[in-house]
Structure 1
Amino acid sequence: MARRARKSAAPTKPLLKTPARIGKLDTAAVIGELRQLHEDAEDKNVGRMPADEELFGTLLYLEANAGALKSEETQRQAAIARVRLWEYLREQADLHQAKAIEHARAAGVEWTDLVPALAVNTPSAAYNKAKRLQAAVLTQGAMDGRPVRRTPEAVIEAEQQAAARAAAARRAEEEAARRYALLAPVAQRLLEHRADLDDGGEVTYWLDQIAAVLPRCQTPTQLVSLRTYVEAFVREMRKTERAAGRPAASTTEARLAYAAAVDVVTG
């Protein structure tokens, strides 16, 4: 019976299985352990071994001096560590080469100029290779953690999604700034007239919360907190007025500050 042809995945379809990756690795610590193995083996060249932070040079040294390790166990241990470090270096190379291409393009470099640097034959091949490399960057920054397929189509789609998220975040920040511009002066007026608003109870408590958050209200989260406190202040003022049967603010200026707070939280 003829074997059914395997259906190719859509070029923009996210990968269903996350590839295994080294991810974060304390390379200096691993190299330090390898250095100790060579010192214990009395490697006569260990003094020439590069610093722990020099990953590529250290790997070349360890490769050239692998025979200095005398026992089979240390040879196996060191070889596995080297394989791991090379895999980590390969992962990092994709990320950093993609960033270098991004910087080159930002500096006005044409795809034609990147042909020899990317070891390809045509500008279109340079473009496609750059897009495949960009998949590593997009996967690292993906909010859902799903790896981006290494095709130009998938990368373009992921870039569009990232741009849409960034635009939404900018709109949220702009809206937060607009709301802060309306809310902050009102909150400040309440604090300026708090002596004529304090009740020694819940109203006082929420004025204290407003006073605590207002000087450092910069992020959307802090703005939400400030609005919540002003809303709570208004709610408690209304309760106080219903219970007393008279205005809770004792001066005209305080009543105007309270009225402004009501407007800003109900508008």
Structure 2
Amino acid sequence: MTTAHRTRARSFDTAAALYAANRPAYPPALFDAVEELAARPLRGARVADVGAGTGIATGLLHARGARVLAVEPGEAMAAQFRRAHPDVPLVRGDGDRLPLATGAFDLLTYAQAWHWTDPQRSVPEARRVLRPGGALALWWNDLDPRVPWIAGQEARLRDFFRVTGDAAQDAFRLLPAGLGFATRKVPWSRRVPLGTHLANLSSHSAFLTLGEERTRAFVAAERERLLAPGGPARADGTVEEAYVVSLAVAVLPASP
């Protein structure tokens, strides 16, 4: 992991409340797909949610009846998690050095977190803590660039951050080789106030490491564009955010 990548990974601790208030959740269909691809129900399963953040995925896993433990490296994110989910156990750690017992879990989940790990370390750690026949589930929740206004926004972001290439690269390119992942795309949407959409945008690591002044300037200009005639903002000040969750599940052999 480069210094810049490590800095971005740690940046969420500076905006834990912003993250908790504005990041999207996940649709029930995602957890249906996890159960299908892992070939077991979540209810009663021993699950470790790694890189749990403020507990968006962890809380939903808990609501499905999983016996879930959260793993989170950030102090402020962990504090936000504990306020939101006081009944769910949490330990401090990260995917490269899991503070978990060997062979103790049925399912290991990474909700928008796998890309912050070093696969040379996180893959062996995942294999270690999963029981035989256990499953590793990774997913990424991305705005859907097939929607024209979202594609336009992504183009502006790419230009603003001087990113070359396709901003809508497939999340599955991040999958480690050799584990035999089964994949699924889960589309969904949410209607939110425009302010929530923009706050969600500014809670991403690229903006958190950019600085307040430039972030405010971009967000202000984006607000004007989205509110302009013909823009996606409706008369009530809301926008419809379309998402696609990219899910990948690898099931380990039933015997070592």
- TM-score band w.r.t. shorter chain: under 0.3
**Structure richer in strand, relative to its length:** 2
**Structure richer in helix, relative to its length:** 1
Give the TM-score of the pair, scaled to structure 2. Answer: 0.19
